[in-house]
Amino acid sequence: MITTNKAVLDWVEEMARLTKPDNIVWLDGSEEEKQKLIKQALETGELHELNQEKLPGCYLHRTAVSDVARVEHRTFICTRNKDDAGPTNNWMAPDEAYSKLRKLFDGSMKGRTMYVIPYIMGPVGSPFSKVGVELTDSIYVVLNMRIMTRMGDVAWQQLGDSDEFVKGLHSKATLDPEERYICHFPEDNTIWSVNSGYGGNVLLGKKCFALRIASYMGRKQGWMAEHMLILGVEDPKGNVSYVAAAFPSACGKTNLAMLVPPEYYAKQGYKVWTVGDDIAWLRIGEDGRLWAVNPEAGFFGVAPGTSYKTNPNAMETIKANTIFTNVLLTPDNTVWWEGMGEPPASGINWKGEPWTPDSGEKGAHPNARFTAPASQCPSISPEWENPKGVPISAIIFGGRRAKVAPLVYQSFDWNHGVYVGATMASETTAAAAGKVGVVRRDPMAMLPFCGYNMADYFAYWLEMGKRIPNPPKIFNVNWFRTDDEGNFLWPGFGENMRVLKWIIDRCNGNGEAVETPIGYVPAKGAIDTTGLDISDEVMEELLSVDKDVWAEEIKDQEEFLKQFGDRLPEEIIAQKEALKKRFGL
């Protein structure tokens, strides 16, 4: 079905005049169409068919060697007023961006097909959901968008004759890294991406729409788009409590989203349900609570480090109907990556070259990916496609801190929680053992994904706090506290369930806590360590708050917040001063 929507037809015609494709294919999302596209991609070499007995419906794709990750320095927020983009975003004036990119898009699809991808972010028929249309000259993009979104005629049905859709234009063009741009025009509901073929830059429904455009849209419309996983914890009585959590990259977001409870809890009847592993759209429900949906339909996960030890649910999810990008191809035509287990004796690396474990370089790119349907995840929640979403009891922030943050603490109230999120940071791991790496502030894990001025974003969080009658409680976690030798004090992975349990107890008015200058920390014995080989001294160390360390931390927070100037909300400054006062600084 080709839509009769005039706004869509006019826009597609205008973009086709610019990019000059040989033909235009309107996609319907059918299985038959998928098979046809896969066949074409295999013929062009865009996809490689994997061992269909071991990995049914799975394929391998290799990107250009210069095109393997999100390019933050080539990613722009194009608002008419520079201050509306703020100091943490790259800005370009919309007229300048359109003019520059028009030249790059001019004739970029000559000799190629333009695919028209209609898609929905969010469950079909949900009040949360939004429609997008992406035009692309890449079959890889089409097949990934099929997995990551609700794609096809269902989107035209939802859109009807409305002109409210996000317009996405993508062309691989020449893949020239010097002319690579990912430009967002929040005031026009538009995204233009050129000269990349890598997922994070070209699957325009993902970070581009679901975070950068949606964060701007949400602020105007009274909801929130956040870089958060959503999970449910079911207790032995069958009650499920949902939490949303924001961590910067490399802090275990997907692993937490798909957590397998340790035997001690599993035996009691606890279960963990995955609603989403990356993005949450949140709005105030009729009952005054904050409700969330996962706008995505799939997982676009980092492969290296994923194994049956770190994330068994992810490993089960990717056994079928998965597209692997930039991983190692094994002699038996399956896939391997660093951290998955024993390496094969030989293989073809992510660049398409012969490889052995002695090659001296990685077989898979460190940012190699899998794209897999969320419905295949063994821990997927029965509520994950509920159009109403799920009610959020707790919001969790976290990062990688060797000495600063305790294992877990609860903010005093919503505004204090916003300050905790606004100043959250993660450390890069330093080469020297025990030495702390570079501290990178990443507010709410949204630094690369906020579609407008981050000071206004903090203000919006504070405003939402006034509008939510029954707000979630806000917590901070840190699985990465170390001793003086640089060894992790907490076992992590499934054992993080013990911390989640304390968080949920606190939301239900239980769970013992002690007040400290930074918030409420679990009282001695409040975190159940039954069956864990962990001493009282280590638990004490994990939950300690060191005044000298925090004095330095607060100085660093102040330095970070300075860049927002007069636009920084007064309440954030008041929270910072109150924190100093509690420490007697």
- Both tokens assigned to 309: 């030890």
Q: Is residue 477 part of a domain?
A: yes
Q: Could you list the residue range(s) of the whole structural domain that residue 170 is in?
A: 6-46+71-221
Question: Does 199 belong to an annotated binding site?
Answer: yes
Question: Does 367 belong to an annotated binding site?
Answer: yes
Which residues of the chain are under the pLDDT cut of 50?
430-434
Question: Does 249 belong to an annotated binding site?
Answer: yes
Same domain, 322 and 443: no
Same domain, 333 and 456: no
Cβ–Cβ < 8 Å for 430, 402: no
Distance between CA 342 and CA 107 in Å, rounded? 47
pTM of the predicted model over 0.75: yes
Q: Indicate if 58 belongs to the active site.
A: no
Beta bridge partners of 515: 520
Question: Does 70 belong to an annotated binding site?
Answer: yes
Question: Does 250 belong to an annotated binding site?
Answer: yes
Distance between CA 102 and CA 192 in Å, rounded? 10
DSSP string, 167-208: EEEEE-TT--GGG-EEEEEGGGTEEEEES--SHHHH-TIIII
Catalytic residue among 78, 183, 251, 507: 251
Same domain, 113 and 129: yes
pLDDT at 428: 75
Same domain, 440 and 499: yes
Same domain, 205 and 302: no
Same domain, 212 and 258: no
Same domain, 545 and 572: yes
**Helices and strands in the chain: count of H runs, count of E runs:** 17, 31
Q: How many residues does the chain have?
A: 585
Question: Does 494 belong to an annotated binding site?
Answer: yes
pLDDT at 429: 56
**Cα→Cα distances 16→8, 12, 337, Å:** 12, 6, 40
Q: Is residue 161 part of a domain?
A: yes
pLDDT at 432: 37
State pLDDT tens for residues 83-134.
999 999 999 999 999 999 999 999 999 999 999 999 999 999 999 999 999 9
Cβ–Cβ < 8 Å for 367, 298: no
Positive or negative, the CA dihedral 297, 139, 97, 92 is positive
| Number of domains observed in the structure of the chain | 3
Decide which of 329, 356, 376 is a domain's last residue.
Answer: 376
CATH code (residue 237) = 3.90.228.20
Same domain, 277 and 197: no
